[in-house]
Amino acid sequence: MKKFLIPTLAFAMMFQLVAAEATAPATDAPAKIVVTCVGDSITYSHGASKRNETTYPAVLQKLLGEDWVVHNFGHNARTALDEGREWNGQQGMGFRKSPNFKKSLESKPNFVLFMLGSNDSKKINWEGNEETFKKNYAALVDEYLALDTNPIVIIGISPYVQKDRWEINEATVGGKIAPWQREFAKERGLPYVDIYELLKANSTDTYCDGIHPNDKGYALIAEAFANKIRELKK
């Protein structure tokens, strides 16, 4: 009787062990690294030939690979200035007032690519508002730095203006905004990518309308941000 009981007991224990392994929850897959792209129509990538393939965030996604998630929260005509306006006087153009601002904050980013400033160069926004622009710009950056995910915020220096249009002008972008952005990033110890100099050096065939890059220009932006992210990820 005892000889029969021992193997039966051993079999029962083995069955329970196998059953426990079969019902144990699967190990969670590693969390993907989230990159949140914040900006205006250049981040949205106006003029890109294919929205899911040739925008700078879409190209960045391909470059970084499947372990990453890249979100495009660009919104046309948006400014860093909270009370920004469109060239025709339309109000409510501050990125803080965009629904994409809230979405970007809720995206749980590990990296934030922050590129605003082109629309702030418009006369209606810039004249008399230079110091307010700087304060509002810094406050937006601080919102991302304060997130629980403790993201790395990378400043994108506002792109070179190949041709003045819609009141976006090179005199203000290249002469005022881009130089201040470089100094701001250095003073705050934030990494930055000089999109201004990148596109200026390659301006002959990288624009679709003088303000917005074409597919080649967006690919250059994506590659520059990807290189900086990889550098910081090491």
Give the pLDDT confidence of 192-227 residue by residue, as tens digits. 999 999 999 999 999 999 999 999 999 999 999 999
Of 198, 174, 219, the C-alpha closest to 57 is: 219
Look at residue 22 in the predicted model and tell me its pLDDT. 40
Mean residue pLDDT of the chain comes to 90
Query: What average pLDDT does the segment 177-195 reach?
Result: 98
* Per-residue pLDDT band at 28 (split at 50, 70, 90): low
Q: List the structure tokens of 27.
A: 């190990």
User: Residue 36 phi/psi, 5° resolution?
Assistant: -110, 120
Phi-psi region of 117 (alpha: psi -120 to 50; beta: other; left: phi over 0): left
Q: What is the CATH number of the domain that holds 72?
A: 3.40.50.1110
- Angstrom distances, CA of residue 89 to CA of 84, 154, 166, 167, 173: 9, 31, 12, 12, 20
| 3 assigned to some structural domain | no
pLDDT at residue 213 in the model: 97
CA distance 198 to 159: 8
* Domain presence at residue 24: no
Number of domains in the chain: 1
- Domain-embedded: residue 200: yes
Smallest Cα–Cα separation from 191: which of 233, 130, 147?
A: 233
E strand spans, 97-214: 111-115, 152-156, 192-193
What length does the chain have? 234
Asked whether the beta carbons of 162 and 121 are under 8 A apart, the reply is no
Answer whether residue 116 is part of any domain.
yes
Q: Output the pTM of the full model.
A: 0.88
Tell me what pLDDT residue 30 has.
Answer: 78
> 196: buried, middle or exposed (CB in 10 Å: 19+, 13-18, 0-12)?
buried
Instruction: Please give the residue range of the domain that contains residue 91.
Output: 29-233
